[in-house]
Structure 1
Amino acid sequence: MKLLLQLAAAGLVTWHAAGALAAVSADEAKQLGTTLTEFGAQKAGSADGAIPAYTGGLTTPPADYVPNSGKWPDPYKDEKPLLAVNPGNMGQYADQLTPGVQALLKRFPDFRLDVYPTHRSVYYPKWVIDNTLKNATSAHLAGKIEGDGVEGAFGGIPFPMPKNGYEVVWNALLNYRRTEFSAINMGGNLVDSSGGRTALPVLNVTEYRPYYDQKYTRDTFKGSYDRAWIQILTPPTLAGQTVLVDYPVNYSVADQSTWAYFPAQRRTRMAPDYEYDTPASSYGGVLFWDEGNMFQGRMDRFDFKLIGVKEMIVPYNNYRLSQLPVDDVLGPKHIKPDVVRWERHRVWVVEATLKPDARHAYEKRTLYVDEDGWTFVEADGYGHDGKLWRVGLNYHFPLYDGGGVYAFTYGFYDLEKGNYFLTWMTGQNGAPLLRVADHLSKPNLFTPAGMAGTGLR
């Protein structure tokens, strides 16, 4: 498309030969803060004005926000859609719709995208911006296999001017989501092809991101960039089961580590199979372990190719969705269109193709990453027959109190089975509480022994 060609000519879409590890030069980095934002997005708006220029993001909470309440009121609740994309008019917007979204529009006669005014509401604290600028000239890919790890980066976007698909994906994995995130009473539901609804496990979750812990420095940070503690509350047969996952910043140095605690046995065990396309058993097999938040894990089984930057209509600023009652959200075939906010944004597009000697349930997956939040907004998975199999959508929203992005309410549509699920939403005991902090509040929680100590019996 014309935009992509213009970006390539301007040097904003670059290409990378396999094996090259150099960071950008000091001269290249001068674009950051001028034509580009300090975190690597295009500062200017789109040619038609639909995407505005970046002016710093949303830093003033709405009047009804209560700090540390766990509730995030919608700052755009009074806005109305500018247009609606439906199966009848989707051809007019085809160049702004992913293949996955087009497939949903074709499959469901009442599927609709309510497109609202675009708000570039993501913002970053100064210390994250400062680290990002340093990362631009020091960060590089590392490891025995391309994409295995990152070195020379800390506390900011590692590759604000990415040169290949691996760097874009690492930007999304290391995007700014605050030091600690906790969710209480996080639920989910699977809706089958007949419209029947099955409640997925209700969870308590704490995520710790050492990569953004200011007690470390660029020289002292190492090991895991992300640690997730997940405990099942319901159903009763699974209550108390707890998983602790460590995601390393360099898989060539240390592999992903997973521990599982089973209250009936009162034992903590290593769980090495909790990765790649292993189905997440607590989700009834509808989610692969590497599909959390669209993609999470090692990249060694796929070749990640950078396609470029495109203007796309994607879910954005979805403050309401995760906190609404379940009945207001779930329809018999798909999420109710009234509750999803779509906007036009620029996204990085990465195509991952399975390596000839590798095994995975997907033969190809296409990842879409927002240019401002460096957040996965969509993931399309293709089976070995070449057909689109699953369409994943992330209903994220930026945090106006302290910066960063909430990117945990997501779901996948299975086009083969005709079902869909949505997770990290309102649990059975009411709306979830979503809290963030800039420090780790319970260090002992993130050890196998500490995990066992919190287990229900």
Structure 2
Amino acid sequence: MKVLLQVAAAGLVTLHAAGAAAAVSADEARQLGTTLTRFGSEKAGSADGAIPEYTGGLSKPPADYTANSGKWPDPYSAEKALFSVTPANMGQYADQLTPGADALLKRFPDMRLEVYPTHRSASYPQWVLDNTVKNATSAHLVGKVEGDGVAGAFGGVPFPIPKSGYEVMWNAMLSYRPTEFSVVNMGGQLIDSSGGRTELPVLNITEYRPYFDQKNAAGNFSGPYLRAWIQAETPPTTAGTTVLVDYSSNYSDTDQVSWAYFPSQRRTRMAPDYKYDTPSSSYGGVLFWDEGNVFTGRMDRFDFKLIGKKEMIVPANNYRLSQLPVDDVFGPKHLKPDAVRWERHRVWVVEATLKADARHAYAKRVFYIDEDSWTFVEADGYGHDGKLWRVGIDYQFPLYDGGGVFALCYGFYDLQKGNYFLTFTNGANGAPLLRVSDHLSHPNLFTPAGMSGTGLR
């Protein structure tokens, strides 16, 4: 753990005080577009060349891509792994392994990480880059509790030159996504400690991000930055059950708001407990509500400290994972190694420690955020006994048609129970389909009345 939380090599990153909340100066912001990309990552590659220079990301779809088909072919399908990290040779890569990867390799003799060439594939529309540069000198943390909200930012990375753990976390939660995306037939599997496989509920999901809706560009942005509509398609006993969750840009002003529609009752009601460490019933209790997308929600129960930036081996560009047959993805103890693509990337490391007067199932959490996409790639949860309990991993892939990253292919390993799960895999009706849009096309979904109308069965 010591090695993994060390500050990166001299010159790689500057650490900042965790309590800072002010925007950067105009002089400091001039790094954006020079030594830094306009969204805040280091433009240069790594010293050994394993991480290349950033040259604009992947913005041209491969030849076999069909717009609005819902399918995202792998542009790197012809590549072969450079090397494998196994329990036998993991010592050679100790300083590049997260605690989660380290624990999985030590626990499972047949575990291995297939490490491919690194591609800095994340790309951004020009208007998002322009907004990010503006945000650098205007965005600031607000709220009665540190990290409770963001003001002075819209339509871009709020803190491209972050000065605290809270700012890095908000960058991840406000990382660029298309204004609306919808997922149809999102399956998942839960593997128990004996290797038995249980299909998780098949979900249809539509997410709307007002923060990235250009219609909201005028004035100071406020209100929910994300509205998530989630409906169960299977099993038959819960088909039609629908949840709508609003995630606030300032929790001191407006807390997270949730509604739920139950077909058996034919009514929509408030659901105030869909937050923090409330177990998600749809996932058999193996996922907390604040672990959606590895982490989503309010940060008031933890102190978030910025540890630094480090070069680490993490999942990246996992286009093919969700398209594979289930038997090619799930092993009895862990995901099958050939299904997952790993690369070396620079990631921000943020450590969250439970406040003395707060309650949560975790005593400590450590988050790893990719420097280019600003998305969570791993979240490690520690129990009150100090031991690593759960390892959350996101198998994201960049969207080459319009920019942004898809990050709903994620799962958690429970090291105490010995089970694990993964979302966004083949479901009852085949592979999941992902469609994106730069405008809100289904506004009626995001009202209690609209939930009732779509939830009938």
* TM, length-normalised to structure 1: 0.98
Asked if the contact 2:302/2:353 (under 8 Å) is kept, the reply is yes
Work out the CA distance in 1 between the residues paired with 2:318 and 2:18: 37
Deviations 1:180-219 (A, max 9, x none): 0100000111000110001110011000000000111151
1:283 aligns with 2:283: yes
Paired residue type of 1:229: W
Asked if the contact 2:261/2:268 (under 8 Å) is kept, the reply is yes
CA deviation after TM superposition for structure 1 residue 14, in Å: 2.8
Structure 1: segments with no counterpart, 5+ residues: none
Paired residue type of 2:190: L
Instruction: Return closer, same or farther for 1:281/1:17 CA change in 2, 3 Å cut-off.
Output: closer
Deviations 1:149-203 (A, max 9, x none): 0000000000000000000000000000110010000011100011000111001
1:64 aligns with 2:71: no
| Structure 2 match to 1:184 | 184
CA deviation after TM superposition for structure 1 residue 296, in Å: 0.4
1:357-396 equivalent positions in 2, closer than 5 A: 357-396=357-396
CA deviation after TM superposition for structure 1 residue 390, in Å: 0.4
| Structure 1 match to 2:10 | 6
| Structure 2 match to 1:48 | 48
Work out the CA distance in 2 between the residues paired with 1:286 and 1:423: 12
Work out the CA distance in 2 between the residues paired with 1:13 and 1:448: 46
| Structure 2 match to 1:271 | 271
Structure 2: segments with no counterpart, 5+ residues: none
1:266-415 equivalent positions in 2, closer than 5 A: 266-415=266-415
| Structure 2 match to 1:210 | 210
Secondary structure at the counterpart of residue 216 of structure 2: coil
Paired residue type of 1:4: A
Asked if the contact 1:122/1:405 (under 8 Å) is kept, the reply is yes
Asked if the contact 1:7/1:309 (under 8 Å) is kept, the reply is no
Paired residue type of 1:259: W
Secondary structure at the counterpart of residue 228 of structure 1: strand
Work out the CA distance in 1 between the residues paired with 2:323 and 2:287: 22
CA deviation after TM superposition for structure 1 residue 21, in Å: 2.4
Asked if the contact 2:18/2:304 (under 8 Å) is kept, the reply is no
Deviates more, 1:377-386 or 1:210-219: 210-219
Q: How many residues align?
A: 453
| Structure 1 match to 2:86 | 86
Work out the CA distance in 1 between the residues paired with 2:308 and 2:7: 10
| Structure 2 match to 1:152 | 152
1:68-217 equivalent positions in 2, closer than 5 A: 68-217=68-217
Deviations 1:36-81 (A, max 9, x none): 0000000000000000000000111111000110000000000000
Deviations 1:91-150 (A, max 9, x none): 000000011110000000000000000000100010000000000000000000000000
CA deviation after TM superposition for structure 1 residue 289, in Å: 0.1
CA deviation after TM superposition for structure 1 residue 17, in Å: 4.9
Paired residue type of 1:16: A
Asked if the contact 1:248/1:254 (under 8 Å) is kept, the reply is yes
Secondary structure at the counterpart of residue 77 of structure 2: coil
Asked if the contact 1:280/1:287 (under 8 Å) is kept, the reply is yes
Work out the CA distance in 2 between the residues paired with 1:412 and 1:246: 24
Asked if the contact 2:24/2:136 (under 8 Å) is kept, the reply is yes
| Structure 1 match to 2:435 | 435
| Structure 1 match to 2:455 | 455
Work out the CA distance in 2 between the residues paired with 1:427 and 1:177: 24
- RMSD, aligned CA: 1.1
CA deviation after TM superposition for structure 1 residue 222, in Å: 1.6
Asked if the contact 1:179/1:440 (under 8 Å) is kept, the reply is yes
CA deviation after TM superposition for structure 1 residue 90, in Å: 0.1
Deviations 1:11-34 (A, max 9, x none): x4231252x421000000011100
CA deviation after TM superposition for structure 1 residue 7, in Å: 3.1
CA deviation after TM superposition for structure 1 residue 428, in Å: 1.3
Deviations 1:388-435 (A, max 9, x none): 000111000001110000110000000000000011222111011101
1:25 aligns with 2:13: no
Work out the CA distance in 2 between the residues paired with 1:50 and 1:452: 51
CA deviation after TM superposition for structure 1 residue 220, in Å: 4.9
Work out the CA distance in 2 between the residues paired with 1:199 and 1:193: 15
Asked if the contact 1:239/1:456 (under 8 Å) is kept, the reply is no
Paired residue type of 1:414: D
Paired residue type of 2:31: Q
Work out the CA distance in 1 between the residues paired with 2:127 and 2:346: 25
Paired residue type of 2:10: Q
Secondary structure at the counterpart of residue 127 of structure 1: helix
Moved over 4 A (4+): none
Secondary structure at the counterpart of residue 189 of structure 1: strand
Deviations 1:216-256 (A, max 9, x none): 11515320000000000100111110000000100001000
